[in-house]
Amino acid sequence: MTTLIIRRIAHMIPLLIVISMISFVLINLPPGDFLTIKIQELEARGDTAARRTIEQWRERFGLDLPLYQQYLIWVNSFLRGDFGRSFEFERDVRELIGQRLALSVTISLCTMLFTWLIAIPAGIFAATRQYSFWDQSLSFISFIGMSMPNFLLALILMYVSVVHFGWGVGGLFSPQYVDAPWSLAKFVDLLRHLWVPVVVIGIAGTAGLMRIMRGNLLDILGQQYIETARSKGLKESLVVYKHAVRVAINPIITIAGMMFPAIIAGEVITSVVMNLPTIGPLFLRALLVQDMYLAGSILIFLTLFLLIGNLLADIALGLVDPRIRYED
Amino acid sequence: MLRHTEFLTRRLMALLLGGLIALVGLVQAQPAVFSEAPMLAERVAAGALPPVAERLPIPEDVVVIEPVEEVGQYGGTIRTLHTGPGMGELKMIMYDPPVRWNRDYTAYIPGLFRGWEFNEDGTSVTFFMRRGLKWSDGYPFTTEDILFWWEDLALNPDFGAVMPPWWAFVAPTPGATPVLGTLEVVDRYTFRMNFAVPHWNVPYILASGFWNFEPMMAPKHFLSQFHPRYNPAVADYRELEIKRLWNQTPGHPTLFAWHTVEYVPGERVVFERNPFYWKVDTAGNQLPYVDRLVSTEVPEAETRLLKIIGGEVDLAFREVPSPRDLPVILDNQERGGYRWLEGWINGAGGWPMLVVNQDFVGDDYIRTLQRDKNFMRGLSLSIDREMINEAIWFGLGTVQQATITEQSWHFEPPEGRALFEEWAAWYADLDLDRANQYLDAAGLDQRDAAGWRLRADNGQPLELLLDIGEWGGAEVNAETAALLQAQWRAVGIRVVLNNAPTPEIDRRWNEGTYMVRFVHMAEMDLWTFPDWIFPIGNEVRAWPRQALWLRTGGAQGEEPGEIVRRLFELYMQGIAIPNIEDRHHLVWEAIRIHMAEGPFYIGITAGLPMPATANVNLRNIPDFGILGPWAPGGPGNTNPEQYFFRQ
């Protein structure tokens, strides 16, 4: 197991390097660069001095260098902990990302937790009462959840919240806690604001996971050893939870690992719509204006998060399922 | 800081002087006694601030602002929004350049500076600063700061963030390499700029928006601590680059009504009143009335709209960019506790509108065709503008031909007004018979079996490539394009829509390889922003190749033809006239050329109310404002420092 972990971590590094190169190229693919876009924006509001002023900044931002050189400069400083400077914000990327990354991770983890806590019991419930009214309703709700894009759901929830309930929108903290140092009260406030984004991001995954859980469990409940257990006289709940669910859960853990990209992407999109102080809005803006160091750095961190998540999922699977033994 | 005895003497002097008559430019009775906000009075009582009379400039240089409705009350926080770290929307609220537009857009008046004076031939302009005017931390604002900006920032070859101002360069002859003017300090509050040739436009350029003046607002006493030339402990300019961004640096002294006290990148910025602000109202109360501005960064337009209808925003002018959201805004006024500022318009002369490329590159037949006024007129007469107005703007727009802003001061004199009326109606009807006649006259009289008009050179159906782009709003353009396609089919013109991404559209625009494209035009003063009417070469507009020739002194592009040459001459005549208000007739002549030879700009709708909102209790906001063009400084030109919360 330890060797596995070490080997996987060792694999992450070349993967990150390749991904960083690909992202750098992708970010710079659209014609023009940050400055051409900046000029457009400024001219659209009537600043005709824009073109003159901004063209002179090309050298200052290093945008006149060939792409591979810009990449190498960036990698060089990245390794020393300097993630470059954002063109738009004109300050260090490290300063901008810091707290937002932590919040993004928190939201993603909470969403995972929410997904599991809802999906697994719901799936078990549906499977054990197959074709009942409850089963049908849960299936119906989950189909809706899976087919609705999460930004749309976010907008609808926000609209309903503002217009029909009069609640505020956006942000993860009430005004009095925004700048306050961390405390229990602030944490509780965060949780109270967190549920809307978590529900929005998690709903599609929850629905999907619920369907999978239900399907797996139904498969297993049809197996012969379950029949044996029942005929042994075991309590139904024991049959279901100790024998069936324990086996059905294994594929779920693997799937959890695959859900990470969806959650991260969902978090980005949803936080843009809901104006959360997480990575999302920053990332989208950086991509739109080709703020390449900011966008590139965020991509690296999201990838890292994804890889670590997958590794943890594999480890969890190895721990939970005694049938799986990784070769040493 | 001044010593206490000096406070007393000065206060006496201020009281004595308090009976003097109005300052330069405004005929207002000078208030005899000044008063201040309670939050400042507290600090004065505690000895942390000098008394208000000390903090203002000398009495004759204090600016007296007449409130729009009534003398206001102190207090309150304005909550608003901005779209990105540049905070353009907020900078337009804190509009205080050296020269400014007046409240009703009829004249340029002195602002931060007391006044200016040219020499005989316009090669030298002297600026007079307000004596005793101080930064928001109490230090005097003098020519030391101006010199610091000029020598240590703008002309400093090692510091790239601030360049020598573009407006200080003049070409000795049209098209030659521009030469930078010089700056000399005359005394503590006076400085002079000298140019190789007459440059009468300088004061008016400084009044455009906030962007020309902004680099000049460089407090030497604050920034020098980050400047390698002044602080040997500082190795490079990296920190100065960040610290000079006044709206992102708490503690950075400003000259506006408010100064920055808090900034969280990508989230929020807080501004608090400037205790040394140099304006008072007619009763002698030091402005601003409102204590703080708090603005949240919300890049996403839908979210901004939600915040406004949710009642979280006290003031919003440009945050909702399009009149199409007016129904939602109007529906939720009561719930949100805000009111729609009816009367605030975009002031577009064309939104949406089209530019017909006069210098089309790559196909001589198309170039000749597009230059044919019969073609342009045929296109213009076949547009059902009323229908597009209903479909795109719910009927809120004014149907007319493309013009510059109707409220432009060029149209104030009666002759100008009459010209505007004529221009707005220029080939703006829907008349398919005449349209067909004009298109036939343009050589497109042959049609194929399907009814498409054929090119006269090769008998192929004519294809009009319409670039959509984002200028004016991607949705608006795309929807209008679809309607135009159907309308022009009725006269046999085949339209192909080009929905390429913006960089591609802009490349075609700059190169001259576009045929027709969407733009948004709103302009109030053609002498600071000439490009829509005078193709002097700063921007592309309808003559990309000819304008390029003018811009590069003949090195690139194509030699201007008759039309461009005449327009250019009119412009050169204009900028040689010292007083900007004497130049209107040249504008009129240029517009007549556009009418006679065009319309190069085919407009559909104009005007358009904007979804500007304000808290129901926020008063002193005028009933009229223009938000489309940023140059006139709206809403800043309406003196937001005298907005107040009625309690």
Output the six-digit token pair for A231. Answer: 């005929």
Shared domain check, A104 and A62? no
Question: End of a domain among A79, A104, A121?
Answer: A79
Give tens-digit pLDDT for A148-182.
Answer: 888 888 888 888 877 787 666 666 776 667 767 77
> Quick check: bond before B352 cis, omega within 30?
yes
User: Where do the domains of chain B lie?
Assistant: 98-234, 347-607
Q: State which amino acid sits at residue A75.
A: V
Asked if A64 has any chain B CB less than 8 Å from its own CB, the reply is no
Q: What is the mean pLDDT of residues A17-36?
A: 86
Shared domain check, A171 and A291? yes
- Whether residue A325 is contained in a domain is answered as no
Query: Partners of B281 in the beta sheet?
Result: B65
Q: Give the mutation candidate from B87, B252, B303, B526 for the A interface (greatest A CB count, under 10 A).
A: B303
**Domain that residue A46 falls in:** 2-79
Shared domain check, A46 and A104? no
Q: Give the CATH number of domain B347-607.
A: 3.10.105.10
Instruction: Report the largest interatomic distance among the alpha carbons of chain A, rounded to a whole angstrom.
Output: 86
Cα gap B506→B470, rounded to integer Å: 10
- Whether residue A328 is contained in a domain is answered as no
Give tens-digit pLDDT for B480-510.
Answer: 999 999 999 999 999 999 999 887 888 899 8
Question: End of a domain among A34, A51, A79?
Answer: A79
B268, B422, B532, B544 from B564: Cα distances, Å = 48, 22, 12, 11
**pLDDT band (50, 70, 90) for residue A229:** confident
Give tens-digit pLDDT for A182-211.
Answer: 788 888 777 777 777 888 888 878 888 888
Which residue from A292, A297, A299 is spatially nearest to A67, judged by alpha carbons?
A292
- Count of C-beta atoms within a 10 Å radius of residue B113: 23
- Look at residue A9 in the predicted model and tell me its pLDDT: 86
- Whether residue A159 is contained in a domain is answered as yes
Flag if A170 and B298 touch (Cβ within 8 Å): yes
Cα gap B603→B479, rounded to integer Å: 15
Question: Domain count of chain A?
Answer: 2
Q: What are the φ/ψ torsions at residue B301 (nearest 5 degrees)?
A: -65, -40
Cα gap B327→B340, rounded to integer Å: 11
Output the six-digit token pair for A177. Answer: 């806690």
Cα gap B393→B129, rounded to integer Å: 46
Flag if B265 and A95 touch (Cβ within 8 Å): yes
Token pair 């390429």 is at which residue?
A: B500
**pLDDT band (50, 70, 90) for residue B14:** very low
Flag if A90 and B85 touch (Cβ within 8 Å): yes
- Look at residue A279 in the predicted model and tell me its pLDDT: 86
Flag if B335 and A91 touch (Cβ within 8 Å): no
User: Are B63 and B639 contacting, i.e. CB atoms less than 8 angstroms apart?
Assistant: no
Shared domain check, A105 and A203? yes
- Look at residue A318 in the predicted model and tell me its pLDDT: 77
**pLDDT band (50, 70, 90) for residue A256:** confident
Alpha-carbon gap: A284 to the closest alpha carbon of chain B (Å): 10
Which residue from B631, B467, B335, B314 is spatially nearest to A49, judged by alpha carbons?
B631
Shared domain check, A99 and A69? no
The average confidence (pLDDT) of chain B is 91
Residue B264's H or E segment, with its range, is strand B258-264
Question: End of a domain among A51, A79, A107?
Answer: A79
Flag if A31 and B209 touch (Cβ within 8 Å): no
Shared domain check, A210 and A135? yes
- Write the CB contacts of B117 (distance below 8 Å, at least 6 apart in sequence): B125, B126, B128
| pLDDT at position A328 over 80 | no
Tell how strand B516-521 and strand B463-467 pair up. parallel
Residues of chain A by 3-state class (helix, strand, coil), percent to 5: 75, 0, 25
| pLDDT at position B8 over 70 | no
Asked if A152 has any chain B CB less than 8 Å from its own CB, the reply is no
A270, A280, B434 from B215: Cα distances, Å = 37, 32, 53
A residues 169-208 closer than 8 Å to B (CB)? 169-170, 178-179
Burial of B429 (0-12, 13-18, 19+ CB in 10 A): middle
Flag if A52 and B299 touch (Cβ within 8 Å): no
Cα gap A151→A154, rounded to integer Å: 5
- Look at residue B352 in the predicted model and tell me its pLDDT: 95
Q: What is the mean pLDDT of residues B188-197?
A: 95
Shared domain check, A102 and A73? no
Shared domain check, A169 and A38? no
Which residue from B16, B611, B19 is spatially nearest to B318, judged by alpha carbons?
B611
- Whether residue A90 is contained in a domain is answered as no
Q: What is the mean pLDDT of residues A226-254?
A: 83
Shared domain check, A291 and A263? yes
Shared domain check, A230 and A107? yes
- Whether residue A89 is contained in a domain is answered as no
- Look at residue B18 in the predicted model and tell me its pLDDT: 45
**pLDDT band (50, 70, 90) for residue B387:** very high
Q: Give the mutation candidate from A77, A90, A97, A291 for the B interface (greatest B CB count, under 10 A).
A: A90
Output the six-digit token pair for B492. Answer: 């046999």
Q: State which amino acid sits at residue B526.
A: L
Shared domain check, A164 and A265? yes
Shared domain check, A247 and A223? yes
Architecture of domain B98-234: Alpha-Beta Complex (3.90)
Q: What CATH code is carried by the domain that includes residue A228?
A: 1.10.3720.10
- Whether residue A65 is contained in a domain is answered as yes
Q: If you ran DSSP here, which 8-state letter would residue A154 be given? A: H
Spell out where B407-493 has E strands: 463-467
**pTM of this structure:** 0.86
Residue A220's H or E segment, with its range, is helix A184-221
Chain centroid, CA B160 distance in Å: 25
- Whether residue A327 is contained in a domain is answered as no
- Write the CB contacts of B478 (distance below 8 Å, at least 6 apart in sequence): B468, B499
Q: Give the mutation candidate from A43, A48, A55 for the B interface (greatest B CB count, under 10 A).
A: A48
> Quick check: bond before B413 cis, omega within 30?
no
Q: Give the mutation candidate from B246, B252, B306, B637 for the A interface (greatest A CB count, under 10 A).
A: B306
Q: What residues of A are in contact with residue B501 (Cβ under 8 Å)? A: 30
Q: What is the mean pLDDT of residues B21-30?
A: 47
For chain B, state the CA radius of gyration: 27
Q: If you ran DSSP here, which 8-state letter would residue B151 be given? A: I
- Write the CB contacts of B124 (distance below 8 Å, at least 6 apart in sequence): B118, B192, B193, B194, B195
Cα gap A258→A115, rounded to integer Å: 13
A residues 288-317 closer than 8 Å to B (CB)? none
Q: What is the mean pLDDT of residues B118-128?
A: 95
- Look at residue A12 in the predicted model and tell me its pLDDT: 87
Question: Which chain A residue shows the shortest CA-CA distance from B302?
Answer: A273
Cα gap B244→B246, rounded to integer Å: 6
User: Are A150 and B297 contacting, i.e. CB atoms less than 8 angstroms apart?
Assistant: no
Question: Which chain B residue shows the shortest CA-CA distance from A290?
Answer: B503
Cα gap A309→A54, rounded to integer Å: 42
User: Are A282 and A100 contacting, i.e. CB atoms less than 8 angstroms apart?
Assistant: yes
